[in-house]
Structure 1
Amino acid sequence: MPSAPSITVGVTAEVAEEWSWAAAHARIPQILALTLSLPEALENVRVAVTVEDGPEVFGSTVAFEGELASGVTTPRSVHLPLSARAMAGVDERRAGECVIRVEDRATARSSASTARPSTSCLATCGRGRGIPDERSRSTV
């Protein structure tokens, strides 16, 4: 089976080492600077960010959609909302990865980069009860 066409994109991201439900709920950006290096201009780009642990996705957002010129582009800081449903099942500190996917929607070419593993990236939200306990008030 042939692989999907890819694009060459340099991705640099200043990612918070520790993420929490409280910080995400307060809309504190987890990615302070997202920089893309493109060898060519792209007309219809989508930059998506997820935090995941294997097949489990804890949150995702579209950080940028539109046209990007060739060279170095810094769209902005990124707030990634965490899923209440996914977080309800988290009852201890979890590791995860922040994955940044860049897709040229005009040609269906794409690229994926793991910005860096987020250590202990997720805290609980009351172990599914919606009431934060001591662990969810601290950064994890």
Structure 2
Amino acid sequence: MTGNLDLQPLATAIKTAIQAELGSLATVYDIDDVPGTPGGSDPTGTPPAQHVEIALNRRDAAPTRRGSGVVSVPDFELATRCHAGSVGTVRELRRLVALALEGRAQDLPDGGTAGPFVFAIGEPEDDDATGWFGSDHWTFA
């Protein structure tokens, strides 16, 4: 990805890729666009029972050497959080998100690419007032 700091085109490309894998099983949202999120774009809405949230941020990372010998600096992190009514469905959403991202690059509207996405760490499934959720973190350049 270039030095362009406008993350919205990147977020849109990521959501499009994830939504293509999810089909009608769930909807992908920016973290502040989930209906019912205080301060979000639809604070009075009701969150869908099954959905995926994404959050992007820049990070300072040390260079790493891939198996090919290429040195890369993963300077972005993506967090994905899958929500559903059961642990089994959360796991399926996580699997589909991984299919959309892992090892893949996403095309950007300016002709550039972001990625490939590398799985960094996942957190165990847990419950909250809305059901079950599981979070994964990805790095990419």
**Which protein has the bigger helix share?**
2
Higher Rg:
1
Higher relative contact order (CA 8 A, sep 6+): 1
1 or 2, which has the higher strand percentage?
1
